[in-house]
Each structure stands twice: as structure tokens, then as C-alpha cells.
Structure 1
Amino acid sequence: MSDSPEPDEEQAPGDPFEEIVAAERDRDPDLAVIEAGSRTLRAQSGAQRVDDLPARPADPAVDRALREVEAELATRWPETKLDPSVIRIQALMDVLGEPQRSYPSIHITGTNGKTSTGRMIEALLAAFDLRTGRYSSPHVQSITERISLDGAPIPAERFVAAYEDIKPYVDLVDARQDYRLSFFEVMTGMAYAAFADAPVDVAIVEVGMGGTWDATNVIDAQVAVITPISLDHTERLGDTPAKIAVEKSGIIKPDARVVLAQQPVEAASVVLRRAVEVDATVAREGLEFGVVAREVAVGGQLLTLRGLGGDYTDVFLPLYGEHMAHNAAVALAAVEAFFGVGEGRAPGPLDADIVRSAFASVTSPGRLEVVRTSPTVILDGAHNPGGATAAAAAVTEAFGFSRLVGVVGASAGKDVRGLLEAFEPVLTEVVITENSAHRAMDADALAAVAVEVFGEERVQVEPRLDDALEAAVALAEEEGEYAGAGVLVTGSIITVGEARLLLGRNR
């Protein structure tokens, strides 16, 4: 639930692309590739970078087993139905033997930037020869992405085994509670058990929503990371940055080190009060660490970062946007805090060459990800105004398109007006669509808002995502020279994941 969308944005636990695939097969029974998409898109699509997301398992038996697990998980409360309590997950951890206490952890909360920051932390720790486990949500294409070991999504057969290992204990807890464990609670239990079984040297854990009562908050993380807080999920977390910060600061444990990204003043004040209450130490972006300099480079940006132990120059980050530079600064400070930099255990900076190598290897699928050229198609899972503002600025800075066509499909209940208003200055036209999730906002309803923001002449409606992509490509190609035009697919990580499949990724 961009950079990183709040991971509780609903994503059906099962395969989200079946409706599209089935519809396309009806239209073209001789379809040669499993991914749906127009003939134009199939012919023209071209990946630019090595993919790091898993395809469906090649072994039919493994694929069938994975689908069965997804189907079982889908019978539980989805991520959007929450009970503000950690009682059930604590009960599961108890019967599992507290696996989450067998390794140190870094806990990440915030509104935007969590997933990319977590991936950067993961790359840095791995570069220093630590075995990592990372838990994140939602997934872009495969449910296995949620649990990563050694920087890669857990193999499907291992995912199935993790589920089968804890299932008897899940059933035991279900029988003792008023409500069964939710989808997210079971996934969290699987991740913590898988990390203990591996075993990992350190776990990087992203919250599902908020912090205090999030299912992940049964760890005692020695480092708590809080990425930028803005308004999202206000019906559950509160309608001001300060109220939201109260929930998110709940991940701060006694004597922890807190790495605090730049925040609204009222949110920062809440976090600092919580840190004082539990005797935690805070490192603040802009004071103890931060971005010293940045310049746009081919394929990303070149940074100078100030860490807790000193400056790191000539750091190439193959991701776009000022917000990604700030995520990098937060990630670096988190890893320094983990190693004890600045507190006596490691007074000086980390090895700069290792830091440079780690950042150069970072990827973040679905976050300003270029997936094809001629014309350029970019995917970004922004689903709230804060994420949209960052994405719009990054696209403008890195690409400078003379014409940029948006493809927008959002989830119901989101601040779609705020999202569209953030994108309006950079999008020449917008094609409104919807994804296959049951919480997808109706295309006509979204288009009505888009017309108010963009004007009727700049809005086109294509309810099917494949048709929307084809229409956007056609509009971009009207520019004549591909280099001057582009397509931005956004509005939901679900829309981005389905577009990624349609455009031929992970065949």
C-alpha cells in the first residue's frame, strides 16, 4: 500500500490479472502470449532493464499450489478491513515460538517512500555481507514479492512451504479468537517465520498501516524509520499530520534509534515527543543527515549524501526524482544507525565504495519505472496527492517531455481529485481507466472528476486497461518524434502491476 504507496492500498490476494487475460482470450483465441494487451502494444513493447519481479512459476504443480495458497488467503479479511489490535498476531507469534525475536530488525513507517527506502536499506546491508529479509506490501505482480530473501522475492515453492509450515498454528489461533487472523496478519507471520528459518542477519519490515496497532509491530526494532507523513487513510489514521504521526510513531521502541525524514512541523513534534517518552535517539533529515547535492544523470541522478558519520560523494542512484534522493539519505542514515555509526561503536563513515556500489544496484519496480521506449512508457504507483506531486516533479525534471499522456486508474475511497490536480500541470491529456480489483473506482466516476480538473477536451475514457494503454500510446505518437512524448501510467499500484504485465514484463 508512488513512490511508495501506503501498502494497505487494497490488492486482492489472488491473481489480479485473470479477468483481463480471460477477456483478451475471448477476443483473440489465438493469443500467443499469456499477457493481455493490444497487438500494437505487444509488437512495440520493449523492456529497458533486467526485471527483478517474479513471473508465475514454470512448474505447473508449484503454480497450482501457489494459487491454492492465494485462494485460501483470499478467504480472510483483506488488508482494507482492519481491527486496531495486535492481540491475534501476538498470539500467533507466541505459538510459533516468537520467531521475530531471533534477528535484529529495521522497522519502516510513513505515508510515501517506504518501499523504495526499504529496498535501498536492503541493498546497503547486503553490500556489507549481511543476509537480509524484507517484508513489504502491496505487491506489484506476484504475492511472493511481499517476502524477500537476499534481495529477491521468495521462490514460489518456498512461499507455499512457509504457508504450510504455519497453517496448523494459524488454525489454532483462529479457534481461540473472536475473529480469524486477517490476510495481512497471516502474511506477517509467514514472513517472520521465513526470516527465522533462513536465517537472516537482519529484517527490513514495512508496516501495513499506521504503526501502533499494525500487525508488524510485534518486533522490537533497534532502528525505526519514519518516511514523509502526509494525509492518507484519514478515516482510519486521523485527518491531520499530527494525528497520523501519533499512530506511526508507535513503532518507536525504548532505546531505539529513530531516523526521521523531513516532516510537517506538527508531525515531527509528535514523533520527537514519543522519542523522549521512550528514551529513543533521533536523527533528523536536514540536521543530522541529508542530501548535500544532486544532479540529474543519465539513467538516474548523482548525489552527495551527508550521513551520520560523514559525507559520501559521487553516489549514483539509478532512480528518478528529488524524493528518491531523500529516500536514499534516509536509507543511508538507517543503515549507519543500525551499525552504530555516530554513537561510539563506529565513529566514522561506512566504506564509501561499498555504499556507492550498493546504491548503484538499487531498483524499485513500479516507482517511476521506464518499461518501454518509442514512445517512453513510465509506471508509477502514486495513489495519493503527496506521491503524485513527487512523481510529477520527477518526470518533469528527468525527461522534459513536450507531450505527456497520463493513464490513470484509481481505487475507490482515495483522494482522486488531489491526485489529478497534482498531475494536471504535467499531463497534456489523460486517459481514464480502471483496474480489475473489486475496489477499483468506476472509470466514468473518475472521469467526471478528471473533466472538472483537466477540462473535457483533455480527458478520454477507456474502461479496459489494455485499450487505455493503446489509446495513450496513440496520443503520444501524434507528437511525431517519440523522443518528445511519453506515457505515464499511475493512480494505483494495482493499475501499475497490471500495466506491467500488459506491456510484456515477466513473460
Structure 2
Amino acid sequence: MFKTYEEALSWIHGTSVFGMKPGLKRMEWMLKRLGHPDKKIKAIHVAGTNGKGSTVTFLRNMLEANGQVVGTFTSPYIKTFNERISVNGEPISDEEILRLANIVYPLTLELEATEFGGPSEFEIITTMMFLYFGEGHADVVIVEVGLGGLLDSTNVVVPIVSAITTIGLDHTKILGETLPEIALQKAGIIKPGVPVVTGNIPEEAMQVIEKYAEEQGSEIERFSHDFSVSKWQTLPTWGEQFTFEDEHIYLNQLQIEMLGKHQIENAAVAIETLRIYSHKTGLAVSHEAMRRGLKQAFWPGRMEKINDEPLMILDGAHNEPAIRRLAETIKHDFSQQEIYLIFAALRDKALGPMLDVLTELPNVHLVLTSFDFPRAATIDDLSSYADSRTIMKEQWQEALVDTMKEMDESDIVLITGSLYFISEVRQTLLDSTEE
């Protein structure tokens, strides 16, 4: 058994040597031994290629503004490991992580001796989350899928409502090479008779989800079909304004402080998901609370402004679909300014397509770099995608210092790529401003 938080964390991270282990047998075995804590919670389950974290945040803030105690399970973390299991946005304590790890640890030793083999790191964390929330620490728990959906360890949960935010090409070696194949994995979270809300999803992927939902007898509410947004405009302060509408609700001049049209779409998915959740549970949700929650919602590293002069933005656009949405935001909001874009990514991502999108932007000065992470793409990995205008820097710290020397005061620094990269940059920069 572990005596300290550090020992517990070391064990949890150490299990990652087992690698990816698709399938739910190990989760079901552990949860059965724990008395099925997953069946003791009211859950909302959120899947999607991108937009999961933002959608979870919009949902959490609206429910919280309505007086609910809201649990969340998210990944990866930005600042501390404990963020993954949070209550009203506050990570659980080191003591709780230690306590939960000591309950789950003996089970994992038993599990290793079975035909199923030992659990993965993510399965351990997911089990700890269900154990914690099964004890009654939240009125509602929003569970974000780790990877895919069908075989993800969170997929043991039977929620009140499910949401699928977006479908795009990512993790293709695991989830499939085409949008329909990936859509089938994401659709795997749809449970019999449980309604599902879908975001802005390409038609070929949508057809797969609709067929799956029909087979499960699940109602489906589709973005721009069953609910929609209109009157979109970017606010001069920072953020977006829009009107939301479905058969039951009309909300005009809603405001969010996250930038980008894709964030409006995520907010719309969150509103529709909340409407269904409140209808199914009998929870009365005021429109005023929804407005307040949306405006308060903040998700670090998503078009996050961390400095005004010069304007410095962090955005975890970690795959090709996210980079395309980032490019849309640049064209819409920053077409008149010079942008110094510092990019670092994981080497297993579609680096070529991602960088093709960025090099096509006429006002972007592209700086390629790396960061301290085992799976980070090195400068050598990135160099084959560079053109004559691309700047290459071994370390992001050097890239940032040199960029600041080159810029005019009206220029923008935009740091993007892997969420692990954004986490490292954010922590370093915010720590230095706090000193």
C-alpha cells in the first residue's frame, strides 16, 4: 500500500507500460468488485474528435450556475494530475488520490492474475473516478471519453444523455482510417434508449451515427437540424455572441469568452445536452443560469489569451481538424495582423496535413519547435515539412525569446499544437508572471 501521494502517482503512471488495452472486460471486473459505483451516479457522457473539453466546461458551468454540484472527468490535464477528477472545477485533493489508489491497487494485483491481465493507466484512473463519484460527491458527473468511445474504459457508464461533439481524422491507427470508421467508434457510446446530441459532423460520419442510434432505439438531436445557432458575431472585448434555438428554447445574445466559431458549436451542443438532461431528470434550469454559466466558462489552452502586449494566445490545436478550425479563426479574427505561430506536436500526428494548412495562411510566420515529452516530434521529424520561410528552433523557449525580438507591438504570438506542449508552455509562462 502507498504511504504518500507521490508513491500512488508513481504507481499509476508506471502502469502505462501496459500500453493501450481496448475492451471493457477489465473495467467491468473491477467495478463489479467495487459494488458497481458507476451505477450510482447521474452521468452525461461526452465523446468527439475535438471539442470534448470545451463542451464539458460549458455544461459544468451552466449546471453549476443552476446550483448543482458537478463532477467532471477529463484528460489530459493542463496543470496537475488531480484535475482529471474535479468537483465544481476544483481538482480533488492529494489525500483523496492516495485513498482511492490504495483501494484500487489490491484489485489490480488480483486482476493481473486473471485471463484479462493488468489494467492500463487510464483504466485505473477511470476506476478511481467512478469509485469517488459513486460515494456521492456530486449531483451530476460529466464523463469525457479518453479515446474513441466504443472500447474506451469510460464506456461502462449508462448516462442520462450522451453527446458526440465532432468527427475528424485523428488516432487513425487505432480508430480507423476513414470518417465512417471513426464515427462508428464514437457512436459506440450510444446506449439503448439513451438520447444523444451531435455537433457539427460531416454527412458521411453522421449517417453512421444515425444508423447506430436507430439500432439502439435512441433519440438523436442534430446540430443545425434539431437545434441551431444564428446571429454569430465576435465581440470586441474577446469572445463570441450568438443566438441559440430549438423547438423548446430561444436564447438570444448569448455570450462566451472562448474565441472561434467552433466554440459556439460546442456551446450549442452543451445547451441541447443540458436541455435533455434537465427534461429527463426533472431538474429545473433557468435561462439566466444558462447565460451566466456560458459566459463564465473557461477552458485553459483553448484560444486562451495569456498576455495583452504583445497579444499572446495559447491554443491546443493538436490534430488536423483542430488546426483547420484554428485557421478559420485566424482568417476571421486576425487577418489584418502578422502572426508568429510557434508549433510543436506529437510525432504520431498527421504532421504534413497540419503544417500544410498553416503554411497556406498568408499572414503567418511559422516557427517549428519541440518540447520535453517522450512522444514529441523533434526538429528532425518536422524539418521535412518546412519550406524556405519556416523558422526552426530546437527548444520552444528559444523560439519564443527570438520571436519576441522580431515582432512589432501590433503582431501576435500564437502558440499551438499538442496539449502536452500547451500545458508545459502555460505552466512555465504563468509561473514566471506569478514570481
Structure 1 residues 413 and 350 mapped into 2: Cα distance closer, same or farther (>3 Å)? same
The answer to whether 1:492 aligns with 2:427 is no
Asked whether the 8 Å contact 2:111–2:117 carries over to 1, the reply is: no
Residue number in structure 2 paired with 1:383:
318
Structure with the bigger RCO (C-alpha within 8 Å, sep 6+) is: 1
| 2:383 aligned to which of 419, 444, 447 | 447
CA distance in 2, matches of 1:330, 1:307: 11
CA distance in 1, matches of 2:239, 2:188: 34
- Summarize deviations over 1:305-358 as a string: whole Å, max 9, x none: 1145221112110110000000000000000010117x9x68xx9522111111
Question: Cα offset for 1:74?
Answer: 2.0
The answer to whether 1:220 aligns with 2:151 is no
| 2:358 aligned to which of 423, 435, 439 | 423
Structure 1 residues 398 and 152 mapped into 2: Cα distance closer, same or farther (>3 Å)? farther
Residue number in structure 2 paired with 1:73:
12
Residue number in structure 2 paired with 1:199:
137
**What amino acid does structure 1 have at the position aligned with 2:403?**
A
CA distance in 2, matches of 1:202, 1:473: 45
CA distance in 1, matches of 2:238, 2:115: 51
**What amino acid does structure 2 have at the position aligned with 1:316?**
Q
Considering only aligned residues, what root-mean-square deviation do their CA atoms show, in Å?
2.1
What SS is found at the alignment partner of 2:7? helix
CA distance in 2, matches of 1:395, 1:161: 46
What SS is found at the alignment partner of 2:153? coil
What SS is found at the alignment partner of 1:252? coil
Residue number in structure 2 paired with 1:89:
27
Residue number in structure 1 paired with 2:339:
404
Structure 1 residues 369 and 66 mapped into 2: Cα distance closer, same or farther (>3 Å)? farther
CA distance in 2, matches of 1:251, 1:130: 24
Count of equivalent residues: 430
What SS is found at the alignment partner of 2:155? coil
Mean CA deviation greater in 496-505 or 326-335:
496-505
Residue number in structure 2 paired with 1:470:
401
Residue number in structure 2 paired with 1:301:
240
Mean CA deviation greater in 366-375 or 151-160:
151-160
Residue number in structure 2 paired with 1:259:
197
Residue number in structure 1 paired with 2:215:
277
Q: Could you list the runs of 5+ residues in structure 1 that have no partner in the other structure?
A: 1-61
The answer to whether 1:123 aligns with 2:61 is yes
What SS is found at the alignment partner of 1:412? coil
**What amino acid does structure 2 have at the position aligned with 1:269?**
Q
Question: Cα offset for 1:488?
Answer: 1.0
Residue number in structure 1 paired with 2:270:
331
Question: Cα offset for 1:491?
Answer: 1.3
Asked whether the 8 Å contact 1:316–1:356 carries over to 2, the reply is: yes
Q: Within 5 Å, which residues of 2 pair with 1:7-46? A: none
TM-score of the two chains, using structure 2 as the length reference: 0.94
Residue number in structure 2 paired with 1:237:
175
What SS is found at the alignment partner of 1:76? helix
Give aligned-pair identity as a percent: 29
CA distance in 2, matches of 1:308, 1:389: 31
CA distance in 2, matches of 1:200, 1:308: 30
The answer to whether 1:249 aligns with 2:187 is yes
CA distance in 2, matches of 1:187, 1:78: 15
CA distance in 2, matches of 1:428, 1:284: 35
| 1:392 aligned to which of 315, 324, 327 | 327
Asked whether the 8 Å contact 1:260–1:284 carries over to 2, the reply is: yes
Residue number in structure 1 paired with 2:370:
434
TM-score of the two chains, using structure 1 as the length reference: 0.81
Asked whether the 8 Å contact 1:96–1:169 carries over to 2, the reply is: no
CA distance in 2, matches of 1:78, 1:264: 36
Residue number in structure 1 paired with 2:226:
288
- Summarize deviations over 1:347-371 as a string: whole Å, max 9, x none: xx95221111111110010111111
CA distance in 1, matches of 2:290, 2:116: 48
Q: Could you list the runs of 5+ residues in structure 2 that have no partner in the other structure?
A: none
Structure 1 residues 127 and 68 mapped into 2: Cα distance closer, same or farther (>3 Å)? same
